[in-house]
Amino acid sequence: MLQTTIEPPRQKRRWRALATAILVVCGLLVASLAIGVYDITADDFGAELVWITRVPRTLALVLAGAAIATSGLVMQMLTQNRFVDATTSGTTEWAALGLLLSALLLPDLGLVGKMVVASCFAFAGAMLFMLILSRVVIRSTLVVPLIGIMLGAVVSAATTFLAAQFSLLQMLGTWFMGSFTQVVRGRYEVLWVVAVVTILVFVLADRITVAGLGKDVATSIGVNYQTILVSGTALVAVAAGVTVVVVGFLPLLGLVVPNIVSMVRGDNVRANLPWVALGGIALVTLCDIIGRLIIRPFEVPVSMVLGLVGAVVFIALLFRQQRA
């Protein structure tokens, strides 16, 4: 028997909007591949250069953008606060401390080993942040990011002190300044780990949503709150640790994108996840393209452009909350 299904117009509009967003992101990625100082059409080395630098850089933008944006959404659900991400909770500062200690104590450690150490420190820092939140009476939503920013400032000060003692301030500055300039073939491949993190966030989306409703609600419907809390924090820590090791800090990316998506589409976490991932890719790619063009042939680090955009959106969110 032939069955016909009439798709509701609203659902059709959603699919068209998602397809349009995918095309826009693909356009930005093509632009990222085309932009560069070296003319790839000038000689035979141009094609090889594309595979050595431009394709790895563009893939790194995709992997890091999607992972940091989705991990920001996870952090906001677990803390029940829209102003929290890896940078406003001090998680990335802990990852930088782990990276510095690995350089001091284990100088022969490879890139994967540094990634593991940075992720472990990021996880410890994120769990400490969660522990502090559980012991503090929250009277304002702004208290939560303030606690994270202060905790991150203390860790950052300790990291800077250690770096100064061992003449590693220049190296530390490179880590703190997020940039895709040094991403080439053979150096970006570890970023595929954050692709696994993004997939796991999609798998755990419903449980993370329930955990975001609070411990009592989650427990009452049979969800192990502590397990989801630790699992979600671990995913955020791995995403932060790996990206810090490979490209450095991407400030406020995990805060800006989930909030913009939520303002436009509402608070359905599972339905918003594809949009959050696409938004993260689009924003970090756009900021990277801007950084490569404004003082060409030199580059402005993507963290500077991203920090400026993130600060404007953060202030806009504060005004929006005051009006609400």
Closest residue by Cα to residue 78 from 308, 236, 197:
236
Residue 100 lies in a domain: yes
Confidence label for 80 from pLDDT (cuts 50, 70 and 90): confident
Q: 30 lies in a domain? A: no
Mean pLDDT of 92-114: 85
Q: For the domain that residue 163 is a member of, what is the CATH number?
A: 1.10.3470.10
pLDDT number for residue 323: 64
Give the tens place of pLDDT for each residue, 285-304. 999 899 888 887 788 888 88
Q: Say if residue 269's pLDDT is above 80.
A: no
Residue 15 has pLDDT above 70, yes or no: yes
pLDDT tens track for 18-38 = 899 999 999 999 998 888 777
Domain count, the chain: 1
Residue 101, domain extent: 56-176+188-322
Q: What sign for the dihedral angle of Cα 67, 68, 69, 70?
A: positive
Nearest to 66 by CA among 257, 217, 227, 261: 257
Q: Which pLDDT tens digit goes with each residue over 222-260?
A: 878 888 888 888 888 888 888 888 888 888 888 888 888
How many CA within 13 A on the CB side of residue 65? 28
Look at residue 2 in the predicted model and tell me its pLDDT. 45
pLDDT of residue 1: 45
Is 290 contained in some domain? yes
Which tokens is 97 given? 């401390």
In one letter, which amino acid is 69? A
- Whether 71 is covered by a domain: the verdict is yes
Residue 187: burial class (beta carbons within 10 Å; 0-12, 13-18, 19+): middle
> Is residue 182 domain-resident?
no
CA angle 6/7/10 to nearest 5° reads 140
The DSSP 8-state label assigned to residue 24 in this structure reads: H
- Average pLDDT value for residue range 277-292: 91
Peptide bond into 297 cis (omega under 30): yes
Most confident of 137-141, 158-162, 202-206, 270-274: 158-162
Residue 38 belongs to some domain of the structure: no
Q: What is the CA radius of gyration of the chain?
A: 20
- Tell me the mean pLDDT in the region 85-100: 85
Which alpha helices (DSSP H) does 204-268 contain, by range? 205-211, 215-220, 225-246, 253-265
Amino acid type, 83: F
Q: What is the mean pLDDT of the chain?
A: 83
Say what the pTM is.
0.86
* 49 belongs to a structural domain: no
User: Is the backbone of residue 10 left (phi > 0), alpha (psi -120 to 50) or beta?
Assistant: alpha
In a domain, 7, yes or no: no
